[in-house]
Chain A
Amino acid sequence: MRRDIVLRVIAKLIIPFMLLFALYVQFHGDFGPGGGFQAGVIIATAVIFYALIFGLPAARQLLPEWIVETMVASGVLVYAGVGIVSLLLGGSYLDYSVLAHDAVHGQERGIFWVEVGVAITVSGVMLKIFYMFAGRRRDEDNG
């Protein structure tokens, strides 16, 4: 598919909007449908789309394996870290009310960071699984 000019041009046109939509789903999830999980999947989909059109090596150059592997773990750490921070600020684990002066603002802030953590881990895992499968050659097991 790398030679097809139509696919390449359309992909370059669409991918920025996909990423923008993912950010919208992520940060507008408090008000409309969506949230970290959906946004993470959409981010992964945009990169997978790029890999399908321009080839896996190009995608690996864009988003190297070590970044993806770091994302897999760091999302969970961000989520658990919010809990630790609320512990340090005198609340119970994952009690967001203590994260700001006002309990409601604290809740908003906690939900924001928790959703960021979910998005990072989900997009990292989805991408890593895709990289793993797409990186294998056919009949590798029989060789």
Chain B
Amino acid sequence: MIDALVVNALLTMMVFIVLVMVGQRNLFAVVILGGIYSFLMATALVALDAVDVAMTEASVGAGISTVLLLGALYLTRGDEAKPMRHSTIPLIVSVAVGAALVYGSLGLPAFSDPNAPIQTHVAPRYLKETLSATGVPNAVTSVLASYRGYDTLGETTVVFTAGAGVIALLRRRRRIREDEER
């Protein structure tokens, strides 16, 4: 009961922060509001007993991305430019997509319903066997690294690819500038 109240209060605050962010033209304020949003999300995840995800959200969403965005902000101007024309069509598209997603979520089983298909398929086996089969009491770790080891290998490769992409993009630009100076 109290958990649901806390989560709902946090989600309401997040909605308000998003509304403020949309109306805000100062990019510094937007970055800081984004950090606050991530911290609220992390707190909501703690209230939902998903501490592993909460830790990731706090360190990546609120920590690293805020620092990286501030670093990027240093390279640009601090205020968002006024849009050239009214963005009616994008607004309609995003409202329509959002409405479609909400409509789709109506067909899902109720939140944390123990009889939902996802809870009755392999999840009970993972939870029951994690200690005897892998010796790791934290089911999140055993699922991530062992039962779903291929997925995590793919994820790590995605992180690697992202890093390689950033290196390729920013390096190339530096070399072009040196060519121009020559």
Pairwise interchain contact A121-B67, C-beta atoms closer than 8 A: no
> Distance in Å from the Cβ of B150 to the closest Cβ of chain A?
6
Pairwise interchain contact B63-A125, C-beta atoms closer than 8 A: no
Assuming the contacts A30-B136, A41-B64, asked whether A111 and B177 have C-beta atoms less than 8 A apart, the reply is no
Docked complex Cα distance between A126 and B61 (Å): 12
Which residues of the partner chain B approach A111 to less than 8 Å between Cβ atoms? 134, 136, 141-142, 145-146
Pairwise interchain contact A133-B71, C-beta atoms closer than 8 A: yes
28 residue pairs A–B, Cβ–Cβ below 8 Å: A30-B137, A33-B138, A34-B52, A34-B55, A37-B56, A38-B56, A38-B59, A41-B60, A41-B63, A44-B64, A72-B163, A72-B164, A76-B157, A79-B153, A94-B149, A104-B135, A110-B145, A114-B149, A115-B145, A118-B156, A121-B156, A124-B163, A125-B163, A128-B166, A129-B68, A130-B64, A130-B68, A141-B173
Q: Using a CB–CB distance below 8 Å, which chain B residues touch chain A?
A: 51-52, 54-56, 59-60, 63-64, 67-68, 71-72, 74-75, 132-138, 140-142, 144-146, 149-150, 152-153, 156-157, 159-160, 162-164, 166-167, 170, 173, 177
Assuming the contacts A69-B167, A143-B177, asked whether A107 and B146 have C-beta atoms less than 8 A apart, the reply is yes
Docked complex Cα distance between A83 and B153 (Å): 10
Which residues of the partner chain B approach A69 to less than 8 Å between Cβ atoms? 167
Check if A134 is an interface residue, CB within 8 A of chain B: yes
Which residues of the partner chain A approach B64 to less than 8 Å between Cβ atoms? 41, 44-45, 48, 126, 130
Assuming the contacts A72-B164, A80-B153, asked whether A107 and B134 have C-beta atoms less than 8 A apart, the reply is yes
Closest to B149 in A: A94
Which residues of the partner chain A approach B166 to less than 8 Å between Cβ atoms? 128-129, 132
- With A45-B67, A140-B177 known, 5 other A-B pairs at CB within 8 A are A33-B55, A80-B153, A115-B141, A117-B156, A138-B74
A98-131 interface mask toward B, CB cutoff 8 Å, 1 = contact, 0 = none?
0000011101101100110110011011101110
Which residues of the partner chain B approach A73 to less than 8 Å between Cβ atoms? 160
Partner of B156, one of A31, A79, A140: A79
Pairwise interchain contact B135-A121, C-beta atoms closer than 8 A: no
Closest to B60 in A: A41
Which residues of the partner chain B approach A96 to less than 8 Å between Cβ atoms? 146, 149
> Distance in Å from the Cβ of A60 to the closest Cβ of chain B?
15
